């Protein structure tokens, strides 16, 4: 009698959560240090010290009626302008603060964007492997989720496959680079190819197709030579969904933004749609204290060198053991080919070695497992013999 879709959604725990809960039970049984939990994408590195310092400063220096009061729904205009200026300096753009809408984090950025863009039955294309909640968010907004497989072995986008998937009902393509769960960064040539395709298809169908870039991992790139292209430099109908959860290790505080490219002709409508969707979904404003914090630390990051060391240690060791690994450019995930075709069975067997790995099926990519390496380097060291024994059990 009540809403069945949401009841089911509330009852089905994601595979990731399920595994995490199993891990908690198992740790209680055999000891914390004997379970190698690679299930969650929860930053393991603390926020940079400026976060605590500035929180103290802001609380001390600001009239509490202002500090804890409502901001305008899109966020404090001063904070938005500071973020816009920073985007402009980094990417040679000229946004003003009114192109930004501050949100309660990446998930909110995405649900608000989809609710602004989609009418019932509109299609959203995503490149698999993809973050599993995309489907939930698109469906709630009335849309149809259309995953398109990335190229086998490299996880780069397959422009031909995307081209075949675009229809007159395609309203948006969502990309996520660095990617969860593969860690790949799409190079500029791919972004240019995708944007050209979207322009051609929009013209052919007489439709508008939006490019939504989900960027919680933008700052988590480990080699200076790797550039993450900024979609606004390539495509007018682009929207960037950003979050400070991973870059500043603040996932529980829910702070991020939507940036709408002012180059699109219908900018005013899209921005109004975002304001309307935010209102209808019940997001009154982003948490004010964290808005003020971002104005101070917008260009800081946590110490991501730990993630880089974790990546390098794991990639080297797993490759030497015979696992097939695509070395990730960023984020804190490693997507590893399952030695048997059924990755769910592989992840089950890994549990016998106390290794908690997430099967790729929910990411739209069976045959692989995701390893979250936002963990302590010590745990990785302790886990390596288990990875070795697991490989041996397959005779690789």
Residues in 211-250 at the binding interface with its own copies, rule: CB under 8 A: 249-250
The Cα 3–Cα 9 span in angstroms is 10
Exactly one of 88, 94, 119, 393 binds its own copies (CB under 8 A); that residue is 119
Regarding 23 and contact with its own copies (CB under 8 A), the answer is no
Q: Is 371 in the site for its own copies (CB under 8 A)?
A: no
- Binder to its own copies among 43, 181, 328, 330 (CB under 8 A)? 43
Residue from 318, 303, 329 nearest 368 by CA? 318
Burial of 196-215, coded b for 16+ CB within 10 Å and e otherwise, reads ebbeebbeeeebbbbbbbbb
Binding residue for its own copies (CB under 8 A) from 117, 173, 212, 231? 117
Q: Do 237 and 261 form a contact (C-beta atoms < 8 A)?
A: yes
Instruction: Supply the minimum distance, in Å, between the C-beta of residue 1 and its own copies.
Output: 6
Q: Which of residues 174-193 bind its own copies (CB under 8 A)?
A: none
Site string for its own copies, 60-89 (x = CB under 8 A): x--xxx-xxxxx------------------
What residues between 250 and 279 interact with its own copies by CB under 8 A? 250-254, 266, 269-277, 279
Which span (157-165, 286-294, 330-338, 350-358) binds its own copies, by CB under 8 A? Answer: 286-294
Contact region with its own copies (CB under 8 A), list: 50-58, 84-92, 154-162, 308-316: 50-58
Least Å distance, CB 328 to its own copies, is: 22
Nearest distance, CB of residue 284 and its own copies, angstroms:
5
Q: How many amino acids of this chain bind its own copies (CB under 8 A)? A: 81
Work out whether 282 is an interface residue with its own copies (CB under 8 A). yes
Give the nearer residue to its own copies in terms of CB position, either 4 or 223.
4
Place of tokens 């190698």: 36
Classify the C-alpha dihedral 304-306-309-315 as positive or negative.
Answer: negative
Task: Report d(CA 115, CA 117) in Å as an integer.
Answer: 6
Least distance from its own copies to the Cβ atom of residue 204, Å = 16
For residues 119 and 121, what is the distance between their CA atoms, to the nearest angstrom?
Answer: 6
Interface pattern 123-162 for its own copies (x via CB under 8 A): ----------x--xx-xxx---------------------
> Minimum distance between the CB of residue 104 and its own copies, rounded to whole angstroms?
6
* Number of neighbours of residue 221 by Cβ within 10 angstroms: 21
b/e per residue 62-75 (b: at least 16 CB within 10 A): eeeeeeeeebebbb
Structure tokens at 54: 């500035």
31 lies in the binding site for its own copies (CB under 8 A): no
Taking the least distance from each CB to its own copies, the nearer of 288 and 310 is 288
Residue 89: CB atoms within 10 A of its CB come to: 10
Question: Which tokens hold the place of 177?
Answer: 């680079």
Contact 261, 238 (CB under 8 A): yes
* Stretch in the footprint of its own copies (CB under 8 A) among 8-16, 87-95, 158-166, 180-188: 8-16
Q: 174 vs 336, which CB is nearer to its own copies?
A: 174
Listed as own residue / partner, the contacts of 131-135 with beta carbons closer than 8 Å and 24 or more positions apart are 131/176, 131/180, 131/181, 131/214, 131/363, 132/14, 132/15, 132/16, 132/362, 132/363, 132/364, 133/14, 133/107, 134/110, 134/174
Q: 1 vs 223, which CB is nearer to its own copies?
A: 1
Q: Which of 287, 367, 377, 388 binds its own copies (CB under 8 A)?
A: 287
- Cα angle at 72 between 68 and 73, to 5 degrees? 105
Q: Which of 323, 298, 297 is nearest to 386 (CA)?
A: 323
Q: Does 363 help bind its own copies (rule: CB under 8 A)? A: no
């Amino acid at each position: 009698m009540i809403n069945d879709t949401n009841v089911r959604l509330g009852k089905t725990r994601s595979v990731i959560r399920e595994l995490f809960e199993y891990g908690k039970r198992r740790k209680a049984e055999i000891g914390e240090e004997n379970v190698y939990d690679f299930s969650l994408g929860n930053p393991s590195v603390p926020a940079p010290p400026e976060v605590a310092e500035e929180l103290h400063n802001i609380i001390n220096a600001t009239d509490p009626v202002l500090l804890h009061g409502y901001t305008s729904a899109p966020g404090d205009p001063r904070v938005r302008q500071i973020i816009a200026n920073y985007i402009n300096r980094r990417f040679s753009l000229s946004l003003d603060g009114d192109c930004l809408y501050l949100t309660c984090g990446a998930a909110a950025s995405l649900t608000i964007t989809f609710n602004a863009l989609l009418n019932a039955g509109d299609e959203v294309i995503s490149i698999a492997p993809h973050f599993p909640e995309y489907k939930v968010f698109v469906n709630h907004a009335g849309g149809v989720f259309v995953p398109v497989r990335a190229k086998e072995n490299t996880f780069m986008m397959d422009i031909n496959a995307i081209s075949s998937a675009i229809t007159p009902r395609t309203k948006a393509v969502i990309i996520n680079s660095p990617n969860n769960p593969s860690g790949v960064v799409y190079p500029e040539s791919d972004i240019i190819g995708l944007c050209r395709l979207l322009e051609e298809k929009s013209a052919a169908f007489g439709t508008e197709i939006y490019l939504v870039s989900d960027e919680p991992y933008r700052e988590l790139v480990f080699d200076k030579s790797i550039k993450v292209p900024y979609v606004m430099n390539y495509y007018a109908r682009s929207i960037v969904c950003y979050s400070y959860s991973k870059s500043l290790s603040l996932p529980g505080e829910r702070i991020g933004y939507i940036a709408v490219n002012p180059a699109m002709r219908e900018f005013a409508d899209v921005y109004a749609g975002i304001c309307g969707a935010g209102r209808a979904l019940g997001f009154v404003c982003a948490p004010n204290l964290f808005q003020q914090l971002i104005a101070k630390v917008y260009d800081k990051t946590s110490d991501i060198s730990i993630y880089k060391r974790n990546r390098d240690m794991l990639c080297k060791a797993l490759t030497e053991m015979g696992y097939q690994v695509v070395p990730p450019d960023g984020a804190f995930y490693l997507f590893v080919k399952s030695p048997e075709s059924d990755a769910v069975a592989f992840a089950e067997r890994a549990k016998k070695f106390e290794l908690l790995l997430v099967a790729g099926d929910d990411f739209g990519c069976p045959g692989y497992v995701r390893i979250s390496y936002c963990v302590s380097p010590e745990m990785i060291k302790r886990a390596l013999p288990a990875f070795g024994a697991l490989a041996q059990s397959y005779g690789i």
